[in-house]
Amino acid sequence: MRCSSDARPPSGMDQYWLSGGTSDERNKSFRMGGEVLVMEEAYAHALSPRFFATHCLHCLQSPSLQYLPCFRCATVCFCCEECREEAWRTYHKYECPTLSLLVDEEIGCMALLAFRVVLNAGLQQILSSDEPAEEKEPFPSGVYDPRSLSVVKRLVSHEKERPAGDLFKRTVTAVFLLNCLEIGGLFQDEDGESAQNRVGALLLRLLQSLSCNAYEISELWVRNEEVSRGERVQIGGAVYPTVSLLNHSCDPNVIRISHGSSCAVVAIQPIQPGHEILDNYGYVFHSNEFKSRQETLQRQYFFRCTCRACEEKWPLLENLQVASGISHRCPRCLVDLSKKVKKCPKCGKEYNARKAEKKFRSSVDSYRGISERLLQNKGEYEWREAFPVISSHVRLLHQFVKKPCKEHVRAMALLKQALYLQGNVREINAA
Ligand SMILES: [Zn+2]
Ligand SMILES: [Zn+2]
Ligand SMILES: [Zn+2]
Ligand SMILES: [Zn+2]
C-alpha cells in the first residue's frame, strides 16, 4: 500500500537521544533503542476540561508567563495569538457557544473529540465522502491517506456487538451534538435536512468507534527534578488513524509518546524485520492480573488476547523470578545458539560466546551503577547521559536472559521513563 502521509516529526523530534545504529544495520537487524517507528499528527484532538485554565487549547503547551483568553468565552486559554486565531477559525468558533454543555461529564469524554473530528473534516468533505462500510475497499485509489475522512470512518465501531441500551445512549448523544453544531453555526440554510442527517450519522459512528480507537495525550509531571518519580498524566484525547492499526499485546514492543498533540510510536523491545509492531491498550502483564486484563479487553475492545504473556500466564511483577542464568541468542536475529557455535545457523553472523558473555557482564555492571543512581532522583541531565547505557542493556537482556523475569521488566521501566522524558513534560518546582 502506498502512503501519502505528509506527517513530519514536529520540531525537536531529532532530539531522541539514540537512533539505534546505521541504516544498513537497521535493515538487517531489529528495531530498538528508542527508534521512532511511526510519527503521526492527530486527526483531531481535545484537551481535557480540567486543563482548560493551564494549557493552550490548541497546542497543549502550558505557557509560563501570559495566557490569552478566548475572543468570547472565559473557559479556555491560548499560549499565543497564532494558536488563538487558528483554533478560532478551525473549530473553536463552532464549539464556543455550547462548550460548557459539551464537556459535561454526563455526556462522556468522547463527545468533544467526536465534535472536533466533524469540524476538522468540514461539512463539504462529510457530504461528499462515501458512506462507511467496514467490508468495502476503503481506498479506491490504492493510496492510504491518514488525513482523509474515509480512513477515520473506517475505524472499527463494533456496532453489531453493542447492546441496545449502549446504542440508545450514543444515539441521544449524537442528536445532542448535532444540535450544538447547529447552534454553533455549522449549517447554512441551503444545506437542508439531509446535511444534518449525514453529520448525525457520522457523529453516531464516531461515538462508537472513538471509544475503542481514541488515544490519550499524556504529559510527564516531574516534581523538583525527581524524574524517577515522574508520573504520566492524561491531559487530553486524540484520534490517530494510523496508530489505530496497531494490535495489542500485554507485553508490547513499542510505547506511544505524546509530543504536543502528535504521537510517536517508539520501539522498546527488539522488533525483527517482518514481525508485528505491538502496542498496549492500557493493560500490561506485570501490573494487571490475567483475568482482569482479559475481561477489560473483551468489554472495551471486543477481543480475547492471545499474546504470549496471556497464553503462558506470565506472573505479576511481585511474583516474577530473577533470571536463573545466561542463555545465548544471535545478536542479529535472536535465534537460540549453543555456546559452541562460531556462526549463527540462521543468519550467518559470526559468534564468539565467550566475548559476547563478557560484554553482557560488563553491561550488567555499568547498568547496575547507573540505575541505582537514577533511582535516587537525578534530574534530566543525568537521565539523558544514562540513556545509551539503559537502551543497550535492554537490548543485551533480550540476547542473554529469558523472558519473563524481573530484570526485563525493571530495565524496560527505566527505558520507558527515559523515553517519556523526551515527550510532553511538565516541570513542577516547589518554591
Ligand atoms: Zn498554543
Ligand atoms: Zn471560547
Ligand atoms: Zn495478552
Ligand atoms: Zn542470526
Digit-coded pLDDT (tens) for 364-418: 999 999 999 998 878 888 998 899 899 999 999 999 999 999 999 999 999 999 9
For residue 110, what are the contacts with CB-CB under 8 A and spacing of at least 6?
206, 207, 210, 211, 214, 237
CA of 305 to the centre of ligand 3 (A): 5
- Residues with Cβ < 8 Å from 352, sequence gap 6 or more? 342
> Per-residue pLDDT for 283 more than 70?
yes
The cell numbers describing 212, all together, are 475503542
* pLDDT at residue 351 in the model: 94
Q: Which residue has the cell 446504542?
A: 167
**Which is higher by pLDDT, 431 or 149?**
149
The ligand with the least distance to the CA atom of 57 is: 1
Please write the tens of the pLDDT for every residue from 224-266.
889 999 999 999 999 999 999 999 999 999 999 999 999 999 9
Cα 21 to ligand 4 centroid, rounded to whole Å: 17
What is the CA(329)–ligand 4 centre distance, in A? 8
- The average confidence (pLDDT) of the chain is 87
Distance between Cα 74 and ligand 2 center (Å): 7
pLDDT of residue 62: 86
The ligand that comes nearest to the alpha carbon of residue 250 is 3
Query: Rounded to an integer, what is the distance from CA 416 to the centroid of its chain?
Result: 13
Residue 141: predicted pLDDT: 64
For residue 115 the three cell numbers come to 465534535
Q: Residues 274, 28: contact at Cβ < 8 Å?
A: no
Ligand 1: distance of its center to the CA of 47 in Å? Answer: 12
CA 430 to ligand 1 center in whole angstroms: 25
Q: How confident is the model at residue 147 (pLDDT cuts 50, 70, 90)?
A: confident
Q: Residue 15: its pLDDT value, please? A: 38
pLDDT at 379: 85
Q: Please indicate whether residue 178 or residue 30 has the higher confidence score (pLDDT).
A: 178
Distance of CA 371 to the CA centre of its chain: 26
Q: Compute the distance between CA of residue 427 and CA of residue 425 in angstroms, rounded to an integer.
A: 6
The ligand minimizing its distance to the Cα of 248 is 3
Q: What is the mean pLDDT of residues 268-289?
A: 91
CA 98 to ligand 3 centroid distance, Å: 41
Q: How far is the CA of 293 from the centre of ligand 3 (A)?
A: 7
CA of 312 to the centre of ligand 3 (A): 9
Which range is least confidently modeled, 27-41, 109-123, 151-165, 182-196? 27-41
pLDDT tier at 20, thresholds 50, 70, 90 = very low
Sign of CA dihedral 331, 336, 339, 343: negative
Of all ligands present, the nearest one to the C-alpha of 333 is 4
pLDDT for position 415: 93
Measured in Å, residue 48 CA sits from the centre of ligand 2 at: 15
- Please give the distance, rounded to the nearest whole angstrom, from the Cα atom of residue 297 to the centre of ligand 2: 37
pLDDT tier for residue 31 given thresholds of 50, 70 and 90: low
> Which has the higher per-residue pLDDT, 99 or 143?
99
Beta partners for residue 215, in sequence order: 238
- Residue-wise pLDDT for 304-322, tens only, equals 999 999 999 999 999 999 9
What's the 177 CA to ligand 2 centre distance in angstroms? 17
Q: If pLDDT is split at 50, 70 and 90, which confidence band does 28 have?
A: very low
Distance 233 CA to ligand 2 centre (A): 24
For domain 2-40+240-428, which architecture applies?
Beta Complex (2.170)
Q: Given pLDDT bands bounded at 50, 70 and 90, which one contains residue 33?
A: low
Residue with the larger pLDDT of the pair 91 and 63: 91
Ligand nearest to the CA of 93: 2
| 270 neighbors 394 (Cβ within 8 angstroms) | no
Which pLDDT value is given to residue 3? 46
Encode pLDDT of 104-142 as tens digits: 888 878 899 999 999 999 999 999 886 655 545 556 566
> Which one is predicted more confidently, 431 or 65?
65
- pLDDT score at 137: 58
Mean of the pLDDT values across residues 213-219? Answer: 95
For the chain, the structural domain boundaries read 2-40+240-428, 44-136+146-215
Q: Between these two residues, 357 and 135, which has the higher pLDDT value?
A: 357
Q: Which ligand is nearest to the CA of 75?
A: 2
**Ligand 2 centre from 67 Cα, in Å?**
13
